[in-house]
Amino acid sequence: MAPPTNRPLFRRIFSWYLFPIFGSIVWVGTLLGLLIDWIVAGSPHYPSMDSEGQTVAYISDIAAEFLKPLFIAGASVTSVCFILSLFGARWLRHRGRIIPNTSLAQRVFSFVAITGAIVGGVGLILLSIFDTKRHKTTHRVFLTVFCAGVLVSALGTVLEYWRLEHHHRWSRALKWSFWTKAVFFVVELGLAIAFGVLLHEQKNNAGAIVEWVTALVFTGYLLSFIFDLLPGAKSHTGEFKDVEKLRPQSAHY
């Protein structure tokens, strides 16, 4: 099939890979804004901090103060971009613009990943609204929802890419993407468990540090979708439908 000669204007301007890029920039910018504000203010001890011995603020401690609108905006944009990144991969595979799914199990894993992203995204937005200073219990509930949603989404994605890579072992990009996401999932799971234990044991300084690290690792996971979505920027509908015929020419993909 020959590629179309004239693409619609929106196809020339818009591409799905822009969502993980934009979402990552917004998320890192939000985190840096909160951290810089806290440092410039002299690393104050906020009312929401659990003990006088806590010297490192949680993200939520800073976000419950003056920069709460920034956190809500940043969390909302990041959540939407995260969800659309996974939806974009599903759509491009369905349209045959990137290597398509080859089994029902892969599609099920994809929908699990999207559902987890929606749950996690909603949790992130709500935890930014119900801050830890005024709604501590509710905030922690939505923090748990966010972490669980992201982990379920990551697990679904890893399983989908595991099966994809199994059916397309010639694709180095799929192999790279699978292992990258698998590593991120294991690291995020370990950090989430460590964070929960430290929070329960009220080891707040260590817990706060782990929370900041976890948030930054999430950025790397979101960025990993750029390489999955990038081929869809130039491909046309159905180009990868009969992917085995493309194998000799596309071994690098």
- Domain extent at residue 139: 15-231
Return the minimum-mean-pLDDT range out of 36-50, 150-164, 167-181. Answer: 167-181
pLDDT attached to residue 42: 86
- The answer to whether residue 20 sits within a structural domain is yes
Average pLDDT over residues 59-63: 90
What is the rounded average pLDDT of the residues 11-18? Answer: 75
Backbone angles phi, psi at 202, to 5 degrees: 60, 35
Residue 139 lies in a domain: yes
In a domain, 238, yes or no: no
Q: Which percentage of the chain shows pLDDT scores above 70?
A: 86
Residue 158: inside a domain, yes or no? yes
Whether residue 74 lies inside any domain: the answer is yes
- Bigger pLDDT: 93 vs 14: 93
Task: Using alpha carbons, list the distances in angstroms from residue 157 to 20, 148, 161, 225.
Answer: 15, 14, 6, 10
Averaged pLDDT, 202-213: 90
Q: When comparing pLDDT for 244 and 59, which is higher?
A: 59
Question: According to the model, what pLDDT value does residue 29 have?
Answer: 95
Mean pLDDT for 201-216 is 90
Check residue 252 and give its pLDDT: 42
119-145, pLDDT tens digit by residue? 999 999 999 999 888 888 899 899 999
Burial class (CB in 10 A: 0-12, 13-18, 19+), 109: buried
Residue 220 lies in a domain: yes
1-10: per-residue pLDDT in tens?
A: 444 545 555 5
pLDDT of res. 248: 46
How many distinct structural domains can be found in the chain?
A: 1
User: Residue 248 falls within a domain, yes or no?
Assistant: no
pLDDT > 90 in the chain, percent:
46
pLDDT in tens, 79-95: 999 999 999 999 888 88
Q: Name the residue with higher pLDDT: 197 or 50.
A: 197
Q: Whole-angstrom Cα distance, residue 227 to residue 66?
A: 37
> What is the per-residue pLDDT across 37-58, written as a single tens digit (0 to 9) for each?
999 988 888 887 776 678 888 8
Q: Within 10 A of 125 (CB to CB), how many other CB atoms are there? A: 19
Assign residue 95 the CATH number of its domain.
1.20.1070
Distance CA(5)–CA(14), nearest Å, equals 17
Q: Residue 199: inside a domain, yes or no?
A: yes
Range scoring the smallest mean pLDDT among 47-61, 141-155, 175-189, 239-253: 239-253
Q: What does the DSSP assignment read for the chain?
A: -PPPSS--HHHHH--TTHHHHHHHHHHHHHHHHHHHHHHHTTS---TTSS-TT--S--HHHHHTTTTHHHHHHHHHHHHHHHHHHHHHHHHHHHTTSSPPP-SHHHHHHHHHHHHHHHHHHHHHHHHHHS-TTT-HHHHHHHHHHHHHHHHHHHHHHHHHHHHHHHH-TT-HHHHHHHHHHHHHHHHHHHHHHHHHHHHHTT-HHHHHHHHHHHHHHHHHHHHTHHHHHGGGGT--TTTTTTHHHHTTT-TT-
For residues 222, 224, 225, 227, the Cα torsion angle rounded to the nearest 10 degrees is: 150
Residue 85 CA, chain-centre distance (Å), reads 8
Q: Evaluate if residue 153 carries a pLDDT over 60.
A: yes
